Amino acid sequence: MKSTRSILAALAGFSLALSACAPVKTAPGTYQTRTTLKVDNRAYLDMTIYVMRGAERVRLGQATGASSSTFTIPADMVQMLTPLRFVADPIGSSRAAISEELNVRAGDEVVMEIPPG
Protein backbone atom coordinates (compact mmCIF):
# COMPACT_ATOMS: atom_id res chain seq x y z
CA MET A 1 0.00 0.00 0.00
CA LYS A 2 2.81 2.38 0.94
CA SER A 3 4.73 1.62 -2.26
CA THR A 4 1.59 2.18 -4.36
CA ARG A 5 1.03 5.57 -2.74
CA SER A 6 4.69 6.42 -3.21
CA ILE A 7 4.55 5.46 -6.87
CA LEU A 8 1.37 7.44 -7.46
CA ALA A 9 2.72 10.49 -5.65
CA ALA A 10 6.04 10.24 -7.41
CA LEU A 11 4.52 9.78 -10.84
CA ALA A 12 2.12 12.64 -10.27
CA GLY A 13 5.10 14.86 -9.75
CA PHE A 14 7.53 13.32 -12.25
CA SER A 15 9.46 15.63 -14.45
CA LEU A 16 8.59 15.94 -18.09
CA ALA A 17 10.71 17.91 -20.49
CA LEU A 18 10.25 18.56 -24.15
CA SER A 19 13.09 19.24 -26.49
CA ALA A 20 13.47 19.25 -30.23
CA CYS A 21 14.90 16.23 -31.96
CA ALA A 22 16.51 16.17 -35.38
CA PRO A 23 14.61 14.41 -38.16
CA VAL A 24 15.77 10.92 -39.09
CA LYS A 25 16.67 10.29 -42.73
CA THR A 26 14.86 7.15 -43.94
CA ALA A 27 15.52 7.10 -47.69
CA PRO A 28 17.41 9.28 -50.15
CA GLY A 29 15.67 12.65 -50.26
CA THR A 30 13.03 11.83 -47.61
CA TYR A 31 12.88 12.53 -43.91
CA GLN A 32 10.77 11.02 -41.18
CA THR A 33 10.50 12.80 -37.86
CA ARG A 34 10.69 10.49 -34.82
CA THR A 35 8.85 11.45 -31.66
CA THR A 36 10.22 9.65 -28.63
CA LEU A 37 9.50 9.05 -24.97
CA LYS A 38 12.53 8.46 -22.77
CA VAL A 39 11.64 6.76 -19.48
CA ASP A 40 14.12 6.91 -16.61
CA ASN A 41 12.63 4.28 -14.29
CA ARG A 42 14.41 4.58 -10.94
CA ALA A 43 11.79 2.43 -9.20
CA TYR A 44 12.38 -1.29 -8.70
CA LEU A 45 9.09 -2.31 -10.32
CA ASP A 46 8.91 -2.82 -14.07
CA MET A 47 6.35 -0.54 -15.73
CA THR A 48 4.19 -1.00 -18.81
CA ILE A 49 4.20 2.35 -20.61
CA TYR A 50 1.25 3.65 -22.64
CA VAL A 51 0.53 6.85 -24.56
CA MET A 52 -3.03 8.22 -24.55
CA ARG A 53 -4.72 10.62 -26.95
CA GLY A 54 -8.23 11.27 -25.72
CA ALA A 55 -9.67 7.83 -24.92
CA GLU A 56 -7.27 6.02 -27.27
CA ARG A 57 -4.48 4.13 -25.46
CA VAL A 58 -1.47 2.59 -27.23
CA ARG A 59 1.11 0.38 -25.51
CA LEU A 60 4.66 1.60 -26.11
CA GLY A 61 6.48 -1.15 -24.24
CA GLN A 62 7.95 -2.13 -20.90
CA ALA A 63 10.35 -0.02 -18.84
CA THR A 64 12.50 -2.27 -16.71
CA GLY A 65 13.05 -1.22 -13.11
CA ALA A 66 16.21 0.76 -12.30
CA SER A 67 17.02 1.47 -15.96
CA SER A 68 16.31 3.83 -18.85
CA SER A 69 14.27 3.00 -21.94
CA THR A 70 13.39 4.91 -25.09
CA PHE A 71 10.16 4.36 -27.01
CA THR A 72 9.01 5.72 -30.35
CA ILE A 73 5.57 7.33 -30.19
CA PRO A 74 3.57 6.22 -33.25
CA ALA A 75 3.41 8.94 -35.91
CA ASP A 76 -0.39 8.71 -36.13
CA MET A 77 -0.61 9.69 -32.42
CA VAL A 78 1.27 12.94 -33.06
CA GLN A 79 -0.29 15.19 -35.66
CA MET A 80 0.51 18.89 -35.48
CA LEU A 81 0.44 19.92 -31.80
CA THR A 82 -1.29 17.05 -30.01
CA PRO A 83 -2.23 16.82 -26.31
CA LEU A 84 -1.03 13.45 -24.97
CA ARG A 85 -0.96 11.71 -21.61
CA PHE A 86 1.47 9.03 -20.54
CA VAL A 87 0.61 6.07 -18.33
CA ALA A 88 3.04 4.08 -16.19
CA ASP A 89 1.36 0.86 -15.06
CA PRO A 90 3.49 -0.99 -12.48
CA ILE A 91 3.62 -4.72 -13.13
CA GLY A 92 2.36 -6.51 -10.03
CA SER A 93 0.34 -3.55 -8.80
CA SER A 94 -3.27 -2.66 -9.45
CA ARG A 95 -2.85 1.12 -9.81
CA ALA A 96 -1.45 2.96 -12.80
CA ALA A 97 -0.37 6.58 -12.74
CA ILE A 98 -1.37 8.99 -15.50
CA SER A 99 0.54 12.16 -16.35
CA GLU A 100 -1.02 15.52 -17.00
CA GLU A 101 -1.81 16.40 -20.60
CA LEU A 102 1.22 17.59 -22.57
CA ASN A 103 1.26 19.22 -25.98
CA VAL A 104 3.61 17.14 -28.12
CA ARG A 105 4.77 17.85 -31.68
CA ALA A 106 6.33 15.47 -34.18
CA GLY A 107 10.06 15.39 -33.49
CA ASP A 108 9.82 16.13 -29.75
CA GLU A 109 11.48 14.02 -27.10
CA VAL A 110 9.44 13.63 -23.92
CA VAL A 111 11.38 12.62 -20.82
CA MET A 112 9.58 10.85 -17.98
CA GLU A 113 11.38 10.26 -14.71
CA ILE A 114 9.95 7.70 -12.31
CA PRO A 115 11.60 8.19 -8.89
CA PRO A 116 12.37 5.29 -6.56
CA GLY A 117 9.46 4.45 -4.38
| Cα–Cα dist 20/104, whole Å | 10
What integer pLDDT is reported at residue 33 of this predicted model?
A: 86
pTM of this prediction?
0.75
**Domains with residue ranges and CATH for the chain:** 2-114 (2.60.40)
Output the pLDDT for position 17: 33
pLDDT in tens, the chain (117 residues): 554 444 444 444 443 333 333 444 455 555 668 999 999 999 999 999 999 999 999 999 999 999 999 999 999 999 888 899 999 999 988 888 899 999 999 999 999 999 887
